[in-house]
Amino acid sequence: MQYDIAAIIQGYAQGYFLMADDDHGLDWYGSRDRTLIPLDQRFRYPKSLQRVLNQERFTVAINRDFPAVVAGCANRETTWISDELKEIYLSLHKTGFAHSFETWQGDELAGGILGIVIGGAFIGESMFYRIPEGSKVAMVKLVERLRQKQFVLFDAQMMNPHLERFGAYGIGDEEYQTLLHKALQRRCSLV
């Protein structure tokens, strides 16, 4: 199936995101409150994770196995990633907008983060792990990468206890739109 990539990117650039409902119908959603992962000194992680990072148990890759990351993110009892949304992510990946930031243990995919890059904005869609600590290491290494590449915004969309442990914080829509506009003026590349 062909998708209107420009229209999809325009939706994300306006602050909306795609989700499937319980009947697997796809629609655009927005939020008055957005969750951001800080790209400054407010970013933090549990001390126990520092030990894992020091042990260098995982290697990091970008887009090494994008389809496997999409599948891993969707492989849950209840998921908002329908088959159609998986296809959209694959189309966005082929056109250079969607990326997977992965951790590997040898030849085994340990975890990953699925996101969309528009200008200097990284819009995190989902994350998963197969090996404990795999997605947490991916988060730390992704933030390092976004800082290095001078991204403005890491949008995590909705708060959860896992993200709070990394210093995630909420902002209102007006502040979010201002930050998003600033991010869209940048030309950043994850790879």
pTM to 2 decimal places: 0.95
pLDDT computed for residue 86 by the predictor:
96
Across residues 96-121, what is the average pLDDT?
98
Q: What local confidence, expressed as pLDDT, does residue 182 receive?
A: 98
155 found inside a domain = yes
| Digit-coded pLDDT (tens) for 115-140 | 999 999 999 999 999 999 999 999 99
- Domain ranges, residue 101: 5-184
Helix (H) or strand (E) holding 42: none
Q: Return d(Cα 101, Cα 69) in angstroms, integer.
A: 9
Tell me, yes or no, whether 189 lies in a domain. no
Classify residue 104: in a domain, yes or no: yes
Structure letter (DSSP) for residue 8: H
Length of the chain: 191
Does 84 map to a domain?
yes
Residue 190 lies in a domain: no
Give the CATH number, domain containing residue 147: 3.40.630.70
- pLDDT(24) > 90: no
Residue 59's pLDDT is 97
Decide if 158 is inside a domain: yes
pLDDT at 23 over 90: no
Q: Residues 5-15: pLDDT tens digits?
A: 999 999 999 99
What pLDDT is stored for residue 44 in this prediction?
94
Tell me what pLDDT residue 1 has: 72
Helices first, then strands: H and E counts in the chain: 7, 9
pLDDT digits (tens, 9 = 90+) for 157-190: 888 888 999 999 999 999 999 999 999 999 999 9
Partners of 127 in beta bridges: 113
**111 in a structural domain:** yes
* pLDDT at residue 79 tops 90: no
What mean pLDDT do residues 71-92 have?
Answer: 93
Average of per-residue pLDDT across 135-163: 95
Q: Report the percent of the chain where pLDDT is more than 70.
A: 100
Q: Is 157 part of a structural domain of the chain?
A: yes
Please give the helix or strand (H or E) that residue 36 lies within, else none.
strand 33-36
| Whether the Cβ atoms of residue 22 and residue 78 lie closer than 8 Å to each other | no
Residue 27 CB coordination number (10 Å): 9
Whether the predicted pLDDT of 114 surpasses 90: yes
pLDDT higher than threshold 80 for residue 97: yes
Joined together, the tokens standing for residue 60 give 């990091």
Tally of domains in the chain: 1
Write the CA distances from 99 to 52, 66, 93, 165, 189, integer angstroms: 24, 7, 6, 24, 10
pLDDT the model gives residue 22: 77
